[in-house]
Structures are given as structure tokens and as C-alpha cells.
Amino acid sequence: MRKTWLLGFGFFSISITWALYNAFVPFFLDSFLSSTALIGFMMTIDNYFALFLQPWIGHRSDRTASRFGRRMPYLLIGMPLAALFVVLIPFHTNFLTLILFMVLMNLAMSLYRSPTIALMPDLTPEAQRTKANGIINFMGGVGGIIAYAAGSALYDAHPSFPFLAAAAITLLSLLILHRSVKESRDAVVPVAEQPQRIRLRGELDRTTVMLLLAIFCWFVSYQGVEALFTLYGKHHLGLKESEASFSLTFFSLFFVLFAIPSGWLGNRFGKKKTIALGVCGLFLVFAAVPLVETLAVLRVLLAIGGIFWAYININSYPFVVSTGSERSIGTRTGLYYLASSLAAISSPPLLGLVIDTFGYGSLFVCAAGGMLLALLFLTRVKHNGMSAGSSS
């Protein structure tokens, strides 16, 4: 499991960058735009590029052969570029340069996101992947906590400081991964065992499609809340910007605390059952938030929501991988991020439009509805996510 903890630095850097992006970029956009729907759209315009790149990059990395390995070349190119552009975001001079830097940063991250995540199943036997996913998501959750807690303090000092820190962490994570991971030595599914041509369409069987639809629905709920929560706190509850972003620390903290236990539960009782429990629980949390008017109760609900999100998020990616073959890990990683990218594109502007029409209280009503739809699709998945020897 030492390699798994080292791999976690890749997810750590991705998570801290995305958390900072979602927490603070809406404030930059708020200076130029008055419509929440338009802010939501601008928060997702970059994902249109990621939508096409991530599945293609994941698919291509399955067939890449180089002296650095299958996945590492994409990290070596994408991570330095992402570090550069994340630094430039707070130094925008007008609306056009802000959008340009946002798009370039996300394009760079699309180059290495799927290959970084695909490294985990590449280096981990199938029966241990849910536990390993718990570990790397634990690292990612730590990144979220740092982003929301320390990032809030840094943002108060100067809006550029959180982004400078994220760039430094990205470069440090790349150094750790490059020095510690040698794919030719560590992979459990070496390139030589995968000579066949992988057909993307052939991976979309009924089980996979239903699972991807469920993933899309729960990410619609999660992505919309994550992208618009700081504005919800500011405009609906009257919180300061730093108070609103710090409140998300409670969600991330309890996600981190339950990341590894959630992997154990998925491995012991099946990924589908564990995810279903998380979906039901997060539905109840989202349904309760509009009734809350005090900061303390809101943070308690966010903490509980972080637990249930761990049940969902820790098990969903290994679930997608487990329903296919070993030779298609990168392709299925791309499909997983295709579903989440579609949600990231559609959710914030749609929920923003609902907020413009019905007010901020409607944000969590829609999020609860997305969880119900996810549960409906999940019941149509004829696979429990259990693997041979997973209960050991």
C-alpha cells in the first residue's frame, strides 16, 4: 500500500486545485456578472474542452508505450502547464483574460487527470482497488480541507496566495510521482498484456450505461452545490466570503475521515449497496439544508453530507472499472470523467437559472432531486461491485 499513498499525491494536487477553483473563482466572476446562471455557465465553459479530451486521453493512454510508461508522459506535460495557468488566474486584468486563464488551466488538467487516476488500478490488484481508492481519496480530501481552510486565510491576505500555493503543490506532487512510480516495474497489468485494439463503443454495455447515468445524476447534485455554495452562503445566509468557503471544510473533513472506512465497506458488502446508502443519506441532507437558517446547524449537516459522499465517491470509480476488463482501465477512467464532466457542464448553469427564478433555497431542493434520480438508475445496474476475494 506504500505505492498507493504515493499515488495519492496526484489526486491530492488535483483536488486542492479544483477546490480552490470552485471556492474562489466565482468571486472573480461575481465582479463582472450579476446573474447567477451566467456565473454558473462561466464556471463550466472550460469543461466543454475537458468533455472531449478526458475520454480521448484516457483511451489513448491505454495504448501509449514510452520509456516513461503509459500514463506518466501525460503527467509530465499537463501538470507543469496547469501550475502555470492556475497562477495566472488571480492576476487577470479583465473578464476576457480571466476566462482565457480558466480555460487554459482546465485544458492542461484534462491532459493528466484521467492518466493520473488510471495509475491506481494499473498498480493495484482488482480485489484491493476499493481500499486503494479510499486511500487516494483520503489524500484528495486532505487537499480539499487545506484548500477551504488554509485557502480561506490565504485569500483574505491576498486573492493570489491560494493559487500560488496550489501551483507549488502540483509541481511537488509531480516530482514525488515521477521519482517513486516506475510503470514498467510496478504495473500489475503490463503493456505487453494489452495488444488488442480497444473499442470505446464496445465498453458501453447496459450495466455501464446505467451506472454512468447514476454517476451523472449524483454529480449534477454535487457539482452544482460545490460550484454555487459559496454564493449561497454569501447571499442567502449573509455569510462573509471566507466564512462560506470555510464551511465547506466540514464537508471535506468528514469525507476524509470516512474515505478509508468507505472503501472497506464497499469491499466487504459490495460497492452498489454502499453507494446506495450514501445516495439515500445525501438526499436527506440536501433536503434538510433549505430549512436551516443558522451557521452551526448548516455545518453539522455538511459534516454528515461528507460522510455519505464518501460512501458514494470512494466506491463509484472502482465500480466502473470492475464492470469492464483489465485492458480498458484508461478507457473506463475516461468514461467516468465523461459522466462527471457532463454534470459539471450542465449543473451549475441550470441550478443557477433555478436560483435566479426561485431564490437560493431552491439550490438544495434540486440537489436532492438529483440524488433520487441517481438512486433510480442505480437500481437498474445488474452488478453488485463485488470481486472475487473482496470480502477477505
Give domain status of residue 383, yes or no.
no
Q: Provide the grid cell at 143.
A: 487537499
* pLDDT: which is higher, 194 or 42: 42
Asked if residue 339 is part of any domain, the answer here is yes
Whether the per-residue pLDDT at 177 is higher than 70: the answer is yes
DSSP-based helix, strand, coil % in the chain, nearest 5: 80, 0, 20
Rg of the chain taking only CA atoms, in angstroms = 20
**Domain count of the fold of the chain:** 1
pLDDT at 241: 76
Q: What is the CATH number of the domain that holds 218?
A: 1.20.1250.20
Residue 371 has pLDDT above 70, yes or no: yes
**Domain for residue 256, yes or no?**
yes
Of 21-30, 45-54, 221-230, 299-308, least confident by mean pLDDT is 45-54
Whether pLDDT at 374 is above 50: yes
The structure's pTM equals 0.72
* Residue 389, in any domain of the structure: no
pLDDT at 207 over 70: yes
* Segment 321-359, tens digit of pLDDT: 887 666 667 778 778 878 888 888 888 888 888 888 888
For 236-263, write each residue's pLDDT tens digit: 887 777 788 788 888 888 988 998 899 8
> 304 in a domain, yes or no?
yes
Count of CB atoms within 10 A of residue 306's CB?
Answer: 26
User: Is 391 a domain residue?
Assistant: no
- Span 89-100, mean pLDDT? 93
Residue 269 included in any domain: yes
387 falls within a domain: no
Residue (of 86, 79, 124) closest to 104 by Cα position? 86
Domain of residue 168 covers 2-185+200-378
Q: At what angle are helices 271-288 and 295-322 packed, to 10 degrees?
A: 150
CB 338 within 8 A of CB 54: yes
